Amino acid sequence: MTKTTAIYLDNAATTALDDRVLEAMLPFLKNQFGNPSSVHKQGREARVAIEKARKMVAGLLNASPGEIVFTSGGTEADNTAILGAITSLNLTQVISSPLEHHAVLHAAAVYAERLQIPFTLLEVDQQGNLDLNQLARLLEKHPKSLVTLMEGNNEIGNLNDLHAIGNLCKESGAFFHSDTVQTVGHYPHNLKSIPVDAISASAHKFHGPKGVGFLYIKKDRKISPFLHGGSQERNMRGGTENVAGIIGLAKALEISYQEMDSHAAHIKQLKSHFIRQLQQQIPGIGFNGRSSDLNQSLYTVLNVSFPPSESNQGMLLFNLDLQGISASGGSACSSGATLGSHVLQALRCTAERESVRFSFSRFNSVEEVDYTVAALKSLYS
């Protein structure tokens, strides 16, 4: 077993910046540094670049430029959608699931408590399937609800059907927001046909820069801003825009769409190979949620459940890191928490089995997968 470079299999946490994205950003980090709110030449250049990027993003998603609001990332986009929808539309209930990212769960809990409205989590089974019949019943009782359910789960990879959920919301008049941070840039989104009122995205999940994202808000579903200040982003987000970041986001999304089919095919091959090798090499291996089903999970994510092991209990990620392999025990945003993954707890996974999320990108190779399997086999032999 030989290795020459570090193996990065934590792409659901963040992805490497594409060189072409950096190249597009550099002029706005060096020479074209104007404030886009300024009326002079440098400011006008920055404003033109932002609006060109907005048009690019909107065009790729089949949305209108006025429906795209640039943010500091997915967390801000989630908070804006949740608080803005509740307060602007006088909604009387928040509905989510225990599998959501904490950017949604914590925001929804705080705002629901502050505004004194019910906050209900849908029931899920041990595979992470949502109870949409329960959703229908809740919407019948409280039609003026905010429904916030992600498209692709960042830990177990489960994909939710935005059309099925969106149609239920549309029938009742509920506001439907989806955290699509793990799917934008990896799957095509035609926002003219998907029955969703708002989606959130973050550039660093599809080989763009950190610290920038966007919120799509359907044009007939106006909501109030989360950050107040200047009149930036059509009065939807106060604060000087991250010009270089926005340029990088648009370039990364453009590349993602241009090369989506080839990237998806490559990553699916890696994931399929990894699953087969793990099953062949390590007895008692299992997979959490639907992550081993390529048709029902993110092709970028595989959540692996390992058999009980005294030598690896609580140490598996550390042992992998010693061998140059970067992976995650769940959401990277909770990597320092002592309570473990809230997603795996919702699936009622046993504490005796160590679980690791491996997540792939187009920069990974079959050789890296084989090295990782060999390393895992040595830890469980």
Residue by residue, DSSP assigns 196-241 as -SEEEEEGGGTTS-SS-EEEEE-TTS----SS-SSSHHHHTS-S--
Residue 304 phi, psi dihedral angles, 5° rounding? -105, 135
Instruction: Supply the residues annotated as catalytic.
Output: 333
Q: How remote is the C-alpha of 23 from its chain's centroid?
A: 25
Helices (H), the chain: 19-30, 41-61, 74-89, 102-115, 132-141, 162-172, 232-235, 243-258, 260-281, 316-322, 342-346, 366-379
Check if the beta carbon of residue 4 is closer than 8 Å to that of residue 368. Answer: no
The two beta strands, 286-287 and 213-217, are unpaired
Burial class (CB in 10 A: 0-12, 13-18, 19+), 281: middle
Q: Which residue has the tokens 């089974």?
A: 125
